[in-house]
A = this chain, B = another copy of it.
Amino acid sequence: MPTSIVDVAKLAKVSISTVSRVINRSDLVNQRTRARVESAIKQLNYQPNAFARGLMLRRSDIVGLVLPDLHGEFYSEIIRGANLKARHLGYNLVVSSARDGDDSHSLLRAIQQRALLDGVAVMVSELTDRIAEVLAAFPLPYVVLDGEIDGTPHDSIVIDQRHGAVALMRHLVGPAGAKRIIFVGGLATNVDTIARLEAYRQVLAESGLPQEASDVYHLDYEYETAYRLAREHVRAWASAGCCVFAANDEMAAGIVAAASEAGLNVPRDLAVAGFDDTRVARMTRPPLTTVRVPMAKMGAQAMELLCQRIADPQRPRMQISLQPELVVRESCGTALRRAADQPAPA
């Protein structure tokens, strides 16, 4: 029922080839003919059929971004960066989330089955063997976001978490002058927690601070949980001259809240640091010292890499590593300050 190229051709009294040329801005069509065709197109409100077009061209100029979940700022930052870059590169971006009653495996399959995309960037919460397997047989150009840092056989963008966490820890033992550091992380199996915990241990070791197993807590990345834990410990921590390194900003915020309620002054009595530099980091009093993970950049780089792969499927795989950045705010007692209160550059 919708108008096709044939209708336009008829109305303009030309062949479909000519119409096609006009659409694709080929320059071998006469000015007057072009005008006639264009007016016919307008008159019929004609839109080329994308399926037919894609069938011939074998491309849609659309790339996908699959995230494990759409909650949280990380993801919207990634999307923002990816979107912008994709558009610069001449692609449209569509986003899909994997969770919600469906695991990433089956999502990949869905996309794979009816791929109308030229490529996808996938971020998975865990790069399991199953998923790796699916990817290996993936019929589409793809890149992996935040994959493993060591020789995966995929194009990927990785964040050097370890590096960021080390920087933060060094700040705590250095300028912030911690005598003892409490680590509050997520589950012990969580890859992010693992990386951050390793950095924690490394810096404690290299600076000769005490490493007590009881200084490490494994929670669930939630505000409320950290708040409850802190309520029981803040006084003890404060009197022991501790700093707290929370593995994300939300937990750090919960700890700051508990400390304030206990009448402690952050950072004087208890310094607290977070991780991720999400919106919450600026929503505590005082705002949090944290580590900014360059999410927007990650999205952008992913698109860049993806488009290179689309352009040249033979190109050898690449891994790009991104460095997080230490953001010093008032929650860790120090004179150091940085012009870091602006949103990350796109």
So how many copies of this chain end up in the complex? 2
B residues in contact with A250, CB < 8 Å: 283
B residues in contact with A93, CB < 8 Å: 96
- In the complex the two chains form, what is the Cα distance from A282 to B94 in whole Å? 31
Residue pairs across A and B with Cβ atoms less than 8 A apart, 5 shown, are A51-B60, A62-B114, A70-B70, A70-B79, A280-B280
**Are B83's CB and A100's CB within 8 A?**
yes
Among B53, B71, B96, B112, contact of A76 (Cβ-Cβ < 8 Å): B71
B residues in contact with A45, CB < 8 Å: 137, 139
User: Given that A92-B110, A254-B283, A261-B285 are contacting pairs, would A79 and B97 also be in contact in the complex, using a CB cutoff of 8 Å?
Assistant: yes
Q: Is A179 an interface residue (CB 8 A)?
A: no
B residues in contact with A51, CB < 8 Å: 51-52, 54-55, 58, 60, 116
Name A109-143 residues within 8 Å CB distance of B: 110-116, 137, 139
Task: With both chains docked as a complex, state the minimum distance between the C-beta of A310 and any C-beta of chain B, in angstroms.
Answer: 14
Q: Is A50 an interface residue (CB 8 A)?
A: yes
Q: Is A316 an interface residue (CB 8 A)?
A: no
Closest to A106 in B: B87
**Are A101's CB and B116's CB within 8 A?**
no
**Are B102's CB and A87's CB within 8 A?**
yes
**Are B115's CB and A47's CB within 8 A?**
yes
**Are A116's CB and B47's CB within 8 A?**
no
Name A32-71 residues within 8 Å CB distance of B: 45, 47-55, 58, 60-62, 64, 70-71
- Chain A, residues 214-257, CB within 8 Å of chain B (1/0): the string is 00000000011001000000000000000000000010011001
